[in-house]
A = this chain, B = another copy of it.
């Protein structure tokens, strides 16, 4: 019942715990014969290293913290897959904290990370987050922090993000190309306005339409806070007799609602409504109509962020900059 420690092994062999410790880690200053004897007994006694002891002694935790605003079925699983893979391949553990889109919980989570002594933090911010003081404290104490996906643009720190402006531009340009009408109604459906990714994508969207002076476009931007609201927003348009010709959708989360609305309204795509999205590509597989989209990859995002994390652990002096993930237009 009692957990076997190095001391127990040492006592049984009438030797010093330090020797056992060295032997188990194949240090050259223990003879081969003794090393083998120690390992054999350790195995027989069911010895497991005690992480707490190591952490205390070394002052390190071999743990990376991952703080996310929301656990969604879209982006998040692929991110996590990449992060988990890399983190464990490096012999580190992963501590997952979920902020539920609340700054207070985000602050709590940063404190949990601090207490746990994580050696690095990957964080995607909540919609509510207006400043990152609660992380700055950790930065000062030397813990590398990487902000990914949902970040604060006007803040200092390592960032890994989707190139939202250009992605939105590409998508909107595709939307324009498909529009044959002279006075098209083009709507953009976005997530919460406070999000950096919303800001980027809205900028790209407006940018393209504003420059498309050759057409008389009625453009409008709508901001919703979740899938359900997105669905209701689209339903509402049709209920009011407003029928946009084209729709830009900024993410899978929002697209899920749009697809739901399209289903209920029994719209033909792209005849009744032309849709372009920024997406991981799920809906091109699952829905019966084809939606052209700018493809983003959660996996690549997670991979780049985590790789950068370990680079930073090796060499904390790496230049602070904003990294972008490659995207591609899929039709």
- Name the residue of chain B whose CB is nearest to the CB of A1: B142
In the bound complex, CA of A256 to CA of B93 (Å)? 32
In the bound complex, CA of A96 to CA of B84 (Å)? 8
A287 touches B288 (CB 8 A): yes
Answer yes or no: A10 CB below 8 A from chain B CBs. no
Chain B residues positioned under 8 Å from A18 (CB to CB)? none
Q: Which of A51-72 contact B (CB under 8 A)?
A: 51-53, 55-56, 59, 61, 71-72
Binds B, one of A22-30, A178-186, A201-209, A278-286: A278-286
Closest CB of chain B to A15's CB: distance in Å? 23
Contact residue among B73, B97, B142 (Cβ-Cβ distance under 8 Å from A77): B73
Chain B residues positioned under 8 Å from A289 (CB to CB)? 288
Answer yes or no: A135 CB below 8 A from chain B CBs. no
A98 touches B84 (CB 8 A): yes
Closest CB of chain B to A70's CB: distance in Å? 9
Chain B residues positioned under 8 Å from A80 (CB to CB)? 71, 96
Chain B residues positioned under 8 Å from A285 (CB to CB)? 256, 259-260, 263
A71 touches B81 (CB 8 A): yes
* Most B CB within 10 A of own CB, among A51, A262, A287: A51
Binds B, one of A42-50, A126-134, A150-158, A232-240: A42-50
Closest CB of chain B to A85's CB: distance in Å? 7
- Taking A52-B56, A71-B80, A81-B98 as known contacts, 4 extra A-B pairs with beta carbons closer than 8 A to each other, sorted by chain A number, are A1-B141, A55-B56, A94-B95, A286-B286
Interface residue ranges, A against B (CB under 8 Å): 1, 3, 46, 48-53, 55-56, 59, 61, 71-74, 76-78, 80-81, 84-85, 88, 93-98, 111-112, 114-117, 137, 141-142, 256, 259-260, 262-263, 282-283, 285-289
Which 4 interchain pairs have the tightest Cβ spacing?
Answer: A52-B55, A52-B56, A71-B81, A288-B288
